[in-house]
Amino acid sequence: MMMSSVAMFLIFTIKAEMRDKNRVSFDAVMCMAIYLEQPPSLDPVVPFSSTVPEGRWGQDNANKFVGLLKQFYTDAKCADFFAAQEGLYKSAQERFMPVYEALDINWFSQYYGAQPDGSQNIIVGLGLGGGNYGPKLKYPDGKEDTYAIMGTWNIDSTNLPYFEIENCLPTLIHEFNHSYVNHLTSKYAKDLEDSGTKLFDLVKAGMGNQHYTWWQTMMNEALVRASVIRYIMKHNPDKKAARNQLITEFGNGFYWMKDLVESLGIYEKNRNMYPTLDSYVPVLAEFYTKVAKESDSMFEIKE
Note the pLDDT tens digit of each residue in 123-166: 999 988 999 999 999 999 999 999 999 999 999 999 999 999 99
Q: Which of 26, 59, 84 is the last residue of a domain?
A: 84
Q: Are residues 158 and 266 in the same domain?
A: no
Cα(112)–Cα(225) distance, integer angstroms: 14
26 and 130 assigned to the same domain: no
Q: Between the CA of residue 171 and those of 107, 165, 218, 219, 291, what are the distances in Å?
A: 15, 10, 17, 17, 26
pLDDT band at 5 (very low <50, low <70, confident <90, very high): very low
Are residues 208 and 233 both part of a single domain? Answer: yes
Q: Are residues 45 and 102 in the same domain?
A: no
The answer to whether residue 181 is domain-embedded is no
Q: Residue 117 falls within a domain, yes or no?
A: yes
The reply to whether 70 and 104 lie within a common domain is no
Whole-angstrom CA distances from 269 to 22, 23, 152 are 43, 40, 37
Predicted structure pTM score: 0.90
With beta carbons less than 8 A apart as the criterion, state whether 251 and 89 touch. no
Host domain of residue 222:
188-303
Specify whether 234 is located in the same domain as 300. yes
Asked which of 52, 84, 116 is the last residue of a domain, the reply is 84
My answer on whether 239 and 286 are in the same domain is yes
* C-alpha–C-alpha distance, residues 152 and 34, integer Å: 18
* Residue 17 pLDDT level (bands cut at 50, 70, 90): confident
Distance CA 12, CA 147 (A): 26
Q: Is residue 183 part of a domain?
A: no
| Residue 281 scores a pLDDT above 70 | yes
Residues 212 and 270 in one domain: yes
Assess if residue 174 is contained within a domain: no
Residue 259 lies in a domain: yes
270 and 193 part of one domain? yes
Neighbours of 258 (CB within 10 A): 15
Q: Which pairs from 161-169 meet CB under 8 Å and 24+ separation?
A: 161/91, 161/92, 161/95, 161/124, 161/126, 162/95, 163/95, 163/96, 163/98, 163/99, 164/99, 165/98, 165/99, 165/102, 168/96, 168/99, 169/99, 169/102, 169/103
How far apart are alpha carbons 169 and 188 in whole angstroms? Answer: 29
**Same structural domain, 120 and 205:** no
Both 141 and 203 in one domain: the answer is no
pLDDT digits (tens, 9 = 90+) for 60-78: 999 999 998 999 899 889 9
Tally the domains of the chain.
Answer: 3
- Residue 13 reports pLDDT greater than 80: no
pLDDT computed for residue 244 by the predictor: 95
To the nearest whole number, what is the mean pLDDT of the chain?
91
Whether residues 223 and 286 fall in one domain? yes
Of the ranges 57-66, 219-228, 260-269, which one carries the lowest mean pLDDT score?
57-66
The amino acid that residue 81 corresponds to is F
CB 180 within 8 A of CB 213: no
Q: What is the pLDDT of residue 2?
A: 34
Q: What is the pLDDT of residue 191?
A: 98
> Residue 12: pLDDT band by 50, 70, 90 thresholds?
low
d(CA 115, CA 275): 13
